[in-house]
Structure 1
Amino acid sequence: MSDSRPGVADLLGVLAYAELTAFLRLAEEAARHAPTLTDRAALGDLAAAEYAHFRLLRDRLASLGVDPEEAMAPFVDALDGWHERTTPNDWLEALVKAYVGTGIALDFYREAAAHVDAETRSLVEEVLADEGRCQFAVDRVGAALEEDPKAAGRLALWARRMVGEALSQARRVAEARPELAVLLVSADGEDVTRMFNRLTEAHGRRMAALGLTPGP
């Protein structure tokens, strides 16, 4: 049985806008920073997957009788603000953002999806499928660090700044949307702080996969 509670509409709304902006940003960053046509095409493929995910979420909201634009609207400022404050300056920063920054955001949505109905959870898991983003970024960043190990420090600082922004925005979203915040608390009474600790731990694992040090 599907679930049309306000928290579910919020989850689908924030995820829909996240996928829409991911599509737009990946396409823009592919054109601006990708060093080769192969890299540009690869990011284009990832962008196309993000747009397909947006359409799934938009259609799901409509099927629940929720206007997709109204569901996305409360999250526009937070997500646009995060993107504006984490605009990459070059190809490597764009890759780290696509892997580390987007990854921690997707973990946030997975946490909320753990407490919704099975149909919605299945859709969210489909939308959050990796689609090759992780391996693409790890391979490119790893090769770049082999050529220039000194770049690791700069990229580690960049990732820390980006994730700090992401966690701050996630907290604001949770505080501003009580129905969504309820989905982030498990049945055993776990608080949101422990959930954010898990997000931070997952961030550390991603940094390690890139060959970067998470830092304090």
Structure 2
Amino acid sequence: MAESAASADADPLYREAVVDLLGAIAYGEISAFERLAEDAKLAPSLADKVDLATMASGELTKVHALHDRLRALGADPFEAMAPFREPLDEFHRHTAPADWHEGLVKAYVGDGLANDFYREIAAYLDPETRDLVVSSMEEGSHATFVVDRVRAAIADDSRLGGRLALWGRRLMGEALTQAQRVAADRDALTALLAGGVDRPGLDLAAMGRMFTRLTERHMARMGELGLDA
């Protein structure tokens, strides 16, 4: 069973892991805001531009609650986010969309994969932090918007589907590489997943099952877009 918020805050190693996790999520939301706002410039219509800008503003709104929790833990939110700036920025440089449709797939598949990963980790957190992380992963109504636009585009141009399917697979590979890099660099996050005498954790078999679930959810999202995984 996950620890209470009070005991979690009193455990230095656990606190460090939570600060790292919330810092990573918060910077991820900020970078998602920046990316979606930039992608809105590629929108083919004013309505599409507004829809993507609305998605962007939703990402930024989630940051405030994450920062509040970090301050409650005695951490500076900007110091907590700093270690994740370089790896996340590098990921986005490697996966910069070439056009409007690649941007939509990245917003749906790439962000969805990150959200699934954080939901998995949330199972090992105290209730207060777990609820905050899960609420930060809510996708809202933009999922329907992306699915509708991508499916309509594929219906108009069958060749587009093949290109976007390859793009989705590249996003999956890049995201997993980036996640492994971050985990390897942050000992506290690794310790969180490994658990402890008073906390559940993931052994190698459980870790394998987790990545299987992540892959299955990625394939499901690709299917929703009408793309082969």
Question: Which residue matches 1:183?
Answer: 192
Change (3 A) 1:213 1:121: same
Matched, 1:6 2:21: no
1:94-149 C-alpha deviation (Å, 9 max, x unpaired): 00000001110111111111110100111111111112232111110011111111
Question: For 1:109 and 1:42, how far apart are their aligned partners in 2?
Answer: 25
Residue correspondence of structure 1 range 113-152 to structure 2 within 5 A? 113-152=122-161
Question: Which residue matches 1:89?
Answer: 98
Count of residue pairs the alignment pairs up: 213
1:63-122 C-alpha deviation (Å, 9 max, x unpaired): 211011111111111100110000001110000000001110111111111110100111
Output the TM-score relative to the length of structure 2.
0.89
Aligned-CA RMSD value: 1.4
Question: For 2:48 and 2:16, how far apart are their aligned partners in 1?
Answer: 40
Matched, 1:210 2:220: no
- Code of the residue aligned with 2:214 in structure 1: it is L
Question: For 1:199 and 1:125, how far apart are their aligned partners in 2?
Answer: 16
- Show structure 1 runs of 5+ residues with no match: none
Question: For 1:178 and 1:201, how far apart are their aligned partners in 2?
Answer: 27
Question: Which residue matches 1:194?
Answer: 209
Decide which of 65, 69, 73 is 2:74's aligned counterpart. Answer: 65
Matched, 1:165 2:180: no
1:193 Cα offset (Å): 3.3
1:182 Cα offset (Å): 3.1
Question: For 1:25 and 1:41, how far apart are their aligned partners in 2?
Answer: 14
Percent identity between matched residues is 51
Question: For 1:27 and 1:193, how far apart are their aligned partners in 2?
Answer: 35
- Show structure 2 runs of 5+ residues with no match: 10-14
SS of 1:184 mapped into structure 2: helix
1:188 Cα offset (Å): 6.0
Farther off after superposition, 3-12 or 179-188: 179-188
Contact 2:124 2:201 in 1 (8 A): no
Contact 1:113 1:183 in 2 (8 A): no
1:181 Cα offset (Å): 2.2
Question: For 2:182 and 2:156, how far apart are their aligned partners in 1?
Answer: 40
Contact 2:192 2:201 in 1 (8 A): no
Residue correspondence of structure 1 range 103-114 to structure 2 within 5 A? 103-114=112-123
Contact 1:19 1:51 in 2 (8 A): yes
